[in-house]
Chain A
């Protein structure tokens, strides 16, 4: 098949060339930056990449952003215009917190007031031979708004403001101190949002106020003339943003988004959630409601049950994130939302998190007008319409032996979910099939895919078509009466003998295995034996023909195991009549068995016990590392060789969840 190996068509060459170019560039910067290894010795001195990534967004840090240089900080970058030149580039809007008023003359008038206060800011020490004009510190007050040389200082997030696209520096130059000839620390792009003043202010030698702001490597200083305080705001709907106010709006965004905004002349500058550095864009004025949060807050992590027609969605996509009929447990994220125009007219949308598996959680909104939301977990004994069907219900779909179901016309492409439900006297395993596994909006399938079913006394195996891809990661579900292993192309339910029904439904497509649990558990196992690392599907007793018949060795054992690196260990230890391992803990026989799946997969295995003399034994199967800190975890079984049964048909007993160190304890 052409796709199996890299080809050399022009199309492939084009793709390969692009990836190679990208890799070469990342590699070049990686090497140029002298990126250190995240080892124990160097971790403390290396800037976390998360911070570096954040720098990308906030500052176009020369390390990343200046494509002409690979140095981390380009000290040779062009300077911001001197303060005396500032006025020619200032925004003339008078609603800027007084930034424009910071002319040289006014600043000079404010300076004497500040001279009497001690400097709260350490003297800058970065840079060669620093010689700074004297900067006069002005202590900040305790409120959010103070004044410094006539300019308000806010600790709210601010935007870089009033710098044109043609600016020679490409943004706002930050320094180690409040002076244009102090060493440069970084350049904030002209559309930076999330600038955080610390509240410290200094008046430059020319009388212009400078603010200290939080930087990735510590505080640094910028001229107050080029930052402007933002207000909390909410953007709703679908809009297009522009980099500059009079620029072409090309970048699409979907609300609702909480963020910060500043009103411009005709448009509004908005940045979403700028707790982390980001950039702002210009949107139509009616797209953003200033001083109005999008979301209300509610309890976080509260358990709720969604039932009825459950639809999870976000506001960025016309397609639901999840849609099914039934019920599901969820937890609230703490956010509630109603479109601004509908507030007070309808119930709020509730954002919830629904766990699809141990690794996947879908977060979306539900509309309480369409989906029933009740506090607390969904009732046990069935989490959807299946609850109305009694376990082991008589059905024309009940499977016996080997057969198949479904159709090749089904668009199911993965196992959407496997879960167990427990009702009185019954365990139910439900396998839901889904569609669109490769998207973020996968959903339940309607039609059952063509599957094979093989049911016997102690196991049910469902073999899936090659088009089903959702079982790549092997998983295990434990339930009261057995265990379900799924991975590759199979779902295998190992269960103890009993009344077992397997049946199927469509709309949605699912397979159901009902296992009726007897009122009283038998003392000795006659079904699968499960442990932490091994499940015996064919244990010792299954080689017997009936009660009282001794085990004939050698005995072959089959099952599923998850030993490290697909190599498990078995031991046979001498035991007494009650199944306890004898004082002599040395195994009378031992060996290894390979499994057909690697490490985290539950792979099939087969082990053959050697011929053993008459006696009582315990056989153990599991994961035991070859050396080092010996630690065994697996399953076990007590059995007898060459001895008559005691009349209770007690040839085998299970040893659950074994986990102990060698040498083995007596009471295994």
Chain B
């Protein structure tokens, strides 16, 4: 098993919800207020969630929900070395969960609602990149966003996604290969 006990990571929601951890454990002083955290993280979480969900407005909705949950747990989360990782994990789980939960209707509704062309239009940057990203499986989207949006190394991505480094590496490789194929480029 990986020894990550001393590394930056986060408490699980399940764990925090359990009665056996009712005591408030403040490991580190709370340096940053939630306000600061919110302002710093919202836009990145929104892009991350929007990438996974394939829809910018839904991404902002999910980011808000993730930050709302973070706020509820703030006394604990603030004590972590990197509370942002915790918020990202929540964000990705919400985004993937939402996709799966509404898998049958969502695909059609998303096509009918904010359409592909509209989605591309409302997103900035290269529309063909967004179209290619939207074709990826959700987990690969998350890896791509964490890698290119935040320049996170694979080890950190693995911790956020709660997977092994090899799994994160594999997902990143697959995602880049798929993107390169779709975009007609070589990813080297």
* Chain A residues within 8 Å of B, Cβ to Cβ: 1-7, 9-12, 14-27, 30, 35, 37-40, 48-50, 52-53, 56-57, 64, 241, 250-255, 257, 271-273, 278-279, 281, 314-317, 321, 359-364, 437-440, 466-467, 469, 472-473, 487-490, 532-533, 562, 564-567, 594-601, 603-604, 623, 625-631, 633, 659
Which of B101, B111, B145, B153 contacts A4, CB < 8 Å? Answer: B153
Q: In the bound complex, do residue B2 and residue A597 qualify as a contact, i.e. CB atoms below 8 Å apart?
A: yes
A13 nearest CB neighbor, chain B only: B148
Q: Inside 8 A of A39's CB, which chain B residues have their CB?
A: 34-35, 38, 71
Is B32 an interface residue, CB under 8 A from the partner? no
Chain B hits for A597, CB < 8 A = 1-2, 4-5
Instruction: Name A566's closest neighbour in chain B (CB-CB).
Output: B5
**CB neighbours of B114 from chain A (8 A):** 56-57, 279
| A residues near B3, Cβ cutoff 8 Å | 596
Interface set, chain B 88-133, CB cutoff 8 A to A: 93, 97, 99-101, 103-105, 107-109, 111-117, 122-126, 129-130
Chain A to chain B contacts (Cβ below 8 Å), 13 pairs? A5-B154, A10-B185, A18-B124, A21-B125, A38-B64, A257-B109, A321-B103, A362-B100, A438-B171, A623-B20, A627-B25, A630-B23, A631-B21
Q: Would B58 and A24 count as touching, CB distance under 8 A?
A: no
**Is there an interface contact between B5 and A603, defined as CB atoms closer than 8 Å?**
yes
A22 and B124 form a contact (CB under 8 A): yes
Nearest neighbor of A489 in chain B, beta-carbon distance: B164
Q: Mark B1-15, 1 if CB is under 8 A from A, else 0.
A: 111111101111011
Q: Are A14 and B185 in contact (CB under 8 A)?
A: yes
A628-B23 contact given A438-B137, A596-B2, CB 8 Å threshold: yes
Known: A251-B115, A253-B112. A440 touches B12 (CB 8 A): no
Whether the Cβ atoms of B185 and A26 lie closer than 8 Å is no
8 A-B pairs with the lowest CB-CB distances in the bound complex, closest first: A600-B12, A18-B125, A633-B20, A566-B5, A49-B64, A21-B125, A472-B163, A314-B104
The A-B contact count (CB < 8 A) is 280
Alpha-carbon distance between A6 and B12 when the two chains are bound, in angstroms: 28
Are A595 and B5 closer than 8 Å at their CB atoms? yes
Residues from chain A with a CB closer than 8 A to the CB of B161 are 472
Assess whether A272 is in contact with B112, with CB atoms less than 8 Å apart. yes
8 Å CB contact of A599 from B11, B93, B180: B11
Contact check, A278 vs B109: say whether CB atoms are below 8 A apart. yes
Chain B residues with CB under 8 A of A22: 47, 50, 56, 123-125, 130
Name the CB-closest residue of A to B155: A4
Question: How far, in angstroms, from A194 to B18 measured CA to CA in the complex?
Answer: 41
Which range contains the number of B residues in contact with the other chain? 35 or more
Cβ-defined partner of A488 (8 Å) among B2, B51, B176: B2
Considering the complex, give the chain B residue whose CB is closest to the CB of A601.
Answer: B1
Q: A599-B12, A625-B23, A628-B25 known; A251 and B124 CB under 8 Å?
A: no
Instruction: State how many angstroms separate the Cβ of A270 from the closest Cβ of chain B.
Output: 8
| A38 and B113 contacting across the interface, CB-CB below 8 Å | no
How far apart sit A241 and B38, CA to CA, in the bound complex (Å)?
Answer: 39
In the complex, A56 Cα to B50 Cα: how many Å? 14
CB-based contact B22/A15 at 8 Å: no
Beta-carbon contact of A15 and B11 below 8 Å:
no
In whole Å, how far is B88's beta carbon from the nearest beta carbon of chain A?
Answer: 14
The distance from the CB of B134 to the nearest CB of chain A, in whole angstroms, is: 12
**Cross-chain contact B162 with A363 (CB below 8 angstroms):** no
What is the bound-complex CA distance between A257 and B19, given in angstroms? 43
A257 touches B112 (CB 8 A): yes
Q: Is the CB of A631 within 8 A of B15?
A: no
Residues of the B chain whose Cβ atoms lie less than 8 Å from the Cβ of A49: 60-61, 63-65
B residues near A, CB below 8 A? 1-7, 9-12, 14-15, 19-25, 27, 34-35, 38-39, 42-44, 46-47, 50-51, 56-58, 60-61, 63-65, 67-68, 71, 93, 97, 99-101, 103-105, 107-109, 111-117, 122-126, 129-130, 137-140, 144-145, 147-149, 151, 153-154, 161-164, 166-167, 169-174, 176, 179-180, 183, 185-188
* In contact, B124 and A438 (Cβ under 8 angstroms): no
Which chain A residue shows the least CB distance to B171? A438
Tell which of A15, A38, A362 touches B148, judged by Cβ atoms closer than 8 Å.
Answer: A15
Shortest beta-carbon distance, A345 to chain B, in Å? Answer: 24
Closest B residue to A468 using CB positions: B167
Contacts of A273 in B (CB 8 A): 105, 109
Interface contact A564-B1, CB-CB below 8 Å: no
Cross-chain contact A38 with B68 (CB below 8 angstroms): yes
Which B residues touch A316, using CB under 8 A? 104, 107-108
- Alpha-carbon gap, A1 to B176, bound state (A): 13
A317 to chain B, nearest CB (A): 8
In the bound complex, CA of A3 to CA of B119 (Å) = 28
Q: Which residues of B contact A4 (CB under 8 A)?
A: 153-154, 169
A316-B104, A472-B162 given; 8 more Cβ-contact pairs under 8 Å? A20-B125, A26-B47, A255-B108, A257-B108, A279-B113, A440-B137, A467-B170, A472-B164
B25 touches A565 (CB 8 A): yes
Do residues B108 and A254 form an inter-chain contact, with CB atoms below 8 A? yes
- Kindly list chain A residues whose C-beta atoms are within 8 Å of the C-beta of B108: 253-255, 257, 272, 316
Cβ contact within 8 Å between A26 and B46: yes
Separation in Å of the B159 CB from the closest CB of chain A?
A: 8
- Is the CB–CB distance between A24 and B148 below 8 Å? no
**Chain A proximity of B105: nearest CB distance (Å):** 7
Inter-chain CA distance A236–B103, complex, in Å, is 17
Check A38 against B38 for contact (C-beta < 8 Å). yes
- B97 partner residues in chain A, CB cutoff 8 A: 359-360
Contacts of B21 in A (CB 8 A): 564, 623, 625, 631
Q: A469-B164, A625-B21 are in contact. Are A9 and B187 (CB under 8 A)?
A: yes
Scoring A14, A281, A659 by chain B CB atoms within 10 A of each residue's CB, the highest score goes to: A14
Q: Are B109 and A272 in contact (CB under 8 A)?
A: yes
Complex Cα distance, B183 from A108, in Å, reads 61
Tell me, in angstroms, the Cα distance from A315 to B107 when the chains sit together: 11
Residues of B within 8 A of A53 (CB): 57-58, 60-61
**Shortest Cβ distance from residue A244 to the other chain B in the assembled complex, whole angstroms:** 13
B42 touches A438 (CB 8 A): no
Asked if residues B117 and A250 are in contact (CB atoms below 8 Å), the reply is yes
Q: How far is the CA of A567 from the CA of B11 in the complex (A)?
A: 12
Q: Which residues of chain B are within 8 angstroms of A362 by Cβ–Cβ distance?
A: 100, 103
A631 touches B23 (CB 8 A): yes
Residue of A nearest to B151 (CB): A6
